[in-house]
A and B are shown apart, each in its own frame.
Chain A
Amino acid sequence: MEILNALVALSNFVLIPAIAYGSQLALGALGVTLIYGILRFSNFAHGDTMAIGTMVTILATWGLQALGVSLGPLPTALLAIPVGIAGAAALVLLTDRLVYRFYREQKAKPVILVIVSMGVMFVYNGVTRFIIGPDDQRFADGERFLITAREFKEMTGLDEGLALKSTQGLTVITAVIVVALLFWFLNHTRTGKSMRAYSDNEDLALLSGINPERVVMVTWIIVAALAVVAGTLYGLDKSFKPFTYFQLLLPIFASAIVGGLGSPLGAIAGGFIIAFSEVGITYAWKKVLGYLMPESLEPSGLVQLLSTDYKFAVSFVILIIVLLFRPTGLFRGKSV
């Protein structure tokens, strides 16, 4: 019993939140890694791309809610995601046309593109705040829980309850579907194969007749889709606030780098490594240990390694440790 209780407490406070957060990070990191692989720069505007795309989704959700459309137990935002993706894709393609293409043709150094993406970040950030404001926005509706803690206790007769939020379940399912689609696309379609070829060796790909502008365009559309899905899931799970999305940049970059920049598999692994370390290190383990240890050894404090405000610090420390021992990440990413 005690062990089961400990396991339930662990799932409730560590495993489930970390898996949900990890899926969101992985989707974000996939976007960063694709841009790095194809366009060869670290996109600082990615967090704000997520924010602006999610904003479009939220506006569409509100529109649908006003029209009385709903998905029953599921959040209405799922219906609005395609609108968000279309909006974000249009925006990033326009940005590429107006801003990035010039530097691509100039063959500017990658670091110049990074600075350019800083400018784009400012603009996106400003636009988001201009339209929806800097405050928290709630747009989740539908069923809040798949299982509540009370139901779970009644069902199993354990002391410890397990609450599974519907957004957490939804996050994991959506993330699995999106990632499966992405890998199928990269491995089995012509465009996907040409993207991989372009990422591996630009000159060779150009020689074999791949149209670079098309590759770039498809990449941006995929990145926009990933960003909107990740952003919407994060917003449903926690809440939407432009500044939070800007701050997500650090754990997202950490995930992509820990896995190895340019490696999609690495991005997913990195996302989960970062999420599990963040949640695990900032969780107060008192409850779980209380169940596991004999009474005499029960801890008196919270057994929290670091306060929750240090979660960004955790992702960065993991990043540094990995880089010290494996300079191009766990999955041997590339370096421009």
Chain B
Amino acid sequence: MRTLGLFALVAVLILGTGFLQSWNSALIILNMGLVSAIMALGVNLQWGLAGLFNVGVMGFVALGGLAVVLTSVAPVPEAWAAGGTRIMGALVLGFVTIAACVLAWKRLPRGRRGWAVAVLSIGGFFLYRAVLDPGVEAVEAVNPAATGFLGGLGLPVVLAWPVGGLLAAGVAWVIGKTALGLRSDYLAIATLGIAEIIIAVMKNEDWMARGVKNVIGLPRPLPYEIDLQNDPGFVDRAAGLGLDPTTASTLYVKLGYSLMFTAVLVIVLVLAQLALNSPWGRMMRAIRDNEEAAEAMGKDVTARHLQIFILGSVLCGMAGAMMTTLDGQLTPSSYQPLRYTFLIWVMVIVGGSGNNLGAVLGGFLIWFLWVQVEPIGQWLMNAVTSGMAESSWLKAHLLDSVQHMRLLTMGVILLLVLRFAPRGLLPER
């Protein structure tokens, strides 16, 4: 009942945006809400179900974005010819070095292994850079204004969604292997750090995805507005509905995304619900609530944690790929932890951790507020400052600062929910 009511409220809010502002903004909010809901489901799987504290959501989302470029952009043959194989060789060399270090650490006797690993890793690093650098230089020299990178595989963009999940899974496996044995606070810092590293790599390795030069004009799974407007059949149908072709085409494309995203969300949600109510889900919650007891019952806690850490990260990676597809561009500098990590956490906590529907609700509700706090704040500030003199510096300052209300509001909402409804709007059953 409560669930239904709260979802109805969100529906009313989004429909209200449609009636009061424009259907275009309502659909924009809906689409990002759908993506946010998938991210929130991923975090909820890790935190709500298993009690893992992952503050590196941004990193996995960014990997999803990278996957879109790697999968769907057409390859740049000149760049491949210039240094592609060299870069690939260097990467293989890098992996071999790491593998050799791990092997050396495991196989060699105690006294010598530290030195062996140090020599291997330092030597390997210089060798790797010696092979990589000329390749990178050659690739980045190929038409730097337009390409300067290797490009992708030129596959359909929808394939990037699962690929984003796979990339995230790989990185999650590495983090999990190193950091899951540590205490929860340490895992948090470790994930925070790895997210920053992923962004740093994406910003600097121009041969991969053009770095801060951004990749724009990514392929999309839906037709372009301009083509629709030139299609007489579409224009006729739009006229039949009483819409002008421009509005109709933008709505058509956004609605198309909404349908695709909804399909993904429904599949993910159903799977998450099945997982939650399965024996596996009960085991995870048992581990979360009392690790020692579960371990004593013969459950492999670390392995289970690794499993769910990877699963949750896959969802974040997929959602990241969907988001980049929706944007049509990859801009590494736009990834900021406040927006892509901590805001997702607010969604999960406010919605209700441990409850999948709660996470989805939180995703929609908080995203709606994130978008609408600014206009509401603007309106509020106008009301507050209406009595002040036109030239007052305070008035100008207050009106200028409205955009920073967002962070403040999100913080206050998070603190209030944690204080008065610590289990969220839709508590775990």
Q: Interface residues, chain A, CB within 8 Å of chain B?
A: 41-42, 99, 102, 110-112, 114-116, 118-127, 129-131, 133-134, 246-247, 249-250, 253-254, 257, 261, 301, 305, 307, 309-310, 312-313, 315-317, 319-320, 323-324, 327, 335-336
CA distance A296 to B405 in the complex (A): 61
Q: Is B88 an interface residue (CB 8 A)?
A: no
Interface string of B196-228 (1 = CB under 8 A from A): 110011011000000000000000000000000
Q: Is the CB of B401 within 8 A of A320?
A: no
B419 contacts A309, C-beta separation under 8 Å:
no
How many Å from the CB of A322 to the closest CB on chain B? 11
CB distance from B99 to the nearest CB of A (A): 16
Chain B residues within 8 Å of A249, by CB: 192
B40: interface (CB < 8 Å): no
* Separation of A130 and B377 alpha carbons in the complex (Å): 12
Please state if A253 and B189 are interface contacts (CB–CB under 8 Å).
Answer: yes
The stretch of B259-267, B357-365, B407-415 that contacts the partner chain: B407-415
Whether A307 and B204, one on each chain, are in contact in the complex, defined by CB atoms closer than 8 angstroms, is yes
Q: Which among A130, A133, A134 is the interface contact of B408 at CB below 8 angstroms? A: A130
CB contact under 8 A between A309 and B204, given known A129-B407, A254-B193: yes
Q: How far is the CA of A139 from the CA of B193 in the complex (A)?
A: 30
- Mark B residues whose CB is within 8 Å of A: 51, 53, 125, 129, 133, 178-179, 181-186, 188-190, 192-194, 196-197, 200-201, 203-204, 337-338, 342, 345-346, 349, 400-401, 404-412, 414-415, 418-419, 422
Cα(A254)–Cα(B133), bound, Å: 29
Q: Determine whether the beta carbon of B401 is less than 8 Å from that of A115.
A: no
Residue among B133, B337, B401 with most chain A CB within 10 A = B401
| CB proximity of B375 to chain A, nearest CB, Å | 17
Q: How far is the CA of A312 from the CA of B197 in the complex (A)?
A: 7
Cα distance A125–B412 when bound, in Å?
A: 12
Q: Is B411 a contact of A122 with CB atoms below 8 Å? A: yes
Bound-state CA distance A246–B400 (Å) is: 22
New contact pairs (8) apart from A110-B184, A250-B196, A312-B200, CB-CB < 8 Å: A119-B414, A119-B418, A122-B410, A124-B411, A301-B133, A320-B179, A323-B179, A327-B181
Q: Which of A124, A131, A250, A317 has the most CB of B within 10 A?
A: A250
CB-based nearest A residue for B353 = A115
Please report the C-alpha to C-alpha distance between residue A315 and residue B196 in the assembled complex, in whole angstroms. Answer: 11
Q: How far apart are B409's CB and chain A's nearest CB, in angstroms? A: 7
CB distance from B173 to the nearest CB of A (A): 15
Residues from chain A with a CB closer than 8 A to the CB of B408 are 122-123, 126-127, 130
With a CB–CB cut-off of 8 A, which chain B residues contact A253? 189, 192
Query: Smallest CB–CB gap between B54 and chain A, Å?
Result: 12
Beyond A250-B192, A336-B183, whether A121 also contacts B342 by CB under 8 A is: yes
Please, which residue of chain A has its CB at the minimum distance from the CB of B126? A305
Contact of B404 among A129, A307, A319 (CB under 8 A): A129
15 A-B contacts (beta carbon < 8 Å): A99-B415, A111-B53, A122-B338, A125-B338, A125-B407, A126-B405, A249-B192, A250-B193, A305-B129, A309-B200, A310-B200, A316-B190, A316-B194, A323-B182, A323-B190
- State whether A111 touches B204 (Cβ < 8 A): no
Q: How far is the CA of A316 from the CA of B192 in the complex (A)?
A: 9
- B183, A123: Cβ atoms closer than 8 Å: no
Query: A323–B186 contact, CB under 8 A?
Result: yes
Nearest A residue (CB) for B401: A130
Q: A116-B415, A122-B408, A312-B200 known; A319 and B189 CB under 8 Å?
A: yes
A246 near B338 (CB under 8 angstroms)? yes
Closest to A102 in B: B419
Across the interface, name the chain A residue whose C-beta is closest to B402. A130
Q: Which residues of B contact A121 (CB under 8 A)?
A: 342, 411
How far apart are the CA atoms of A129 and B408 in the complex, in Å? Answer: 9
A110 proximity list for chain B (CB < 8 A): 184-185
- In this complex, what residue of A is CB-closest to B400? A133
The distance from the CB of A96 to the nearest CB of chain B, in whole angstroms, is 13
State in angstroms the CA–CA spacing of A307 and B193 once bound together: 17
Complex CA distance for A261 and B188, rounded to whole angstroms: 14
> CA of A323 to CA of B351 in the docked complex: distance in angstroms?
34
A124 to chain B, nearest CB (A): 8
Beta-carbon nearest neighbor of B416 in chain A: A119
**Once the chains are docked, how many angstroms separate the CA of A120 from the CA of B413?**
11
Asked, given contacts A309-B200, A312-B200, whether A42 binds B188 with beta carbons under 8 Å apart, the answer is yes
Q: What is the CB-to-nearest-CB distance from B43 to chain A, in angstroms, rounded to a whole number?
A: 12
Tell me if B182 and A42 are in contact (CB < 8 A): no
Roughly how many angstroms separate A180 CA and B211 CA in the complex, as a whole number?
45
Name the contact of A316 in the complex, choosing from B185, B197, B414, B418 (C-beta under 8 A). Answer: B197
**Cα distance, A335 to B133, chains bound together (Å):** 42
B193 touches A122 (CB 8 A): no
Say yes or no: B203 contacts A309, CB within 8 Å. Answer: yes
Residue of B nearest to A320 (CB): B178
B116 to chain A, nearest CB (A): 14
A126 partner, pick from B189, B203, B411, beta carbons under 8 A? B411
Residue in A closest to B194 when the chains form the complex, CB atoms: A316
Instruction: List the 9 shortest-distance A-B pairs measured between CB atoms, nearest first.
Output: A122-B411, A126-B408, A316-B193, A123-B411, A126-B407, A119-B414, A129-B404, A119-B415, A313-B197
* B188–A134 touching, CB < 8 Å: no
Minimum Cβ distance to chain A for residue B35 (Å): 21
CB neighbours of B409 from chain A (8 A) = 126
Contact flag A316-B345 (CB < 8 Å), given A111-B184, A127-B408: no
When chains A and B are docked, how far (Å) is the Cα of A170 from the Cα of B179?
38
Q: Are B412 and A123 in contact (CB under 8 A)?
A: yes
CB pair B189 A257 closer than 8 Å: yes
Task: Contact check, B415 vs A312: say whether CB atoms are below 8 A apart.
Answer: no
Task: Enumerate chain B residues within 8 angstroms of A125, measured Cβ to Cβ.
Answer: 338, 407, 411
Bound Cα distance from A315 to B194, whole angstroms:
11
Q: A123-B415, A316-B193, A336-B183 are in contact. Are A118 and B200 (CB under 8 A)?
A: no
Q: Is the CB–CB distance between B405 and A115 below 8 Å?
A: no
A122 vs B406: C-alpha distance in the bound complex, in angstroms? 9
Contact residues in A for B346 (Cβ distance below 8 Å): 119, 122
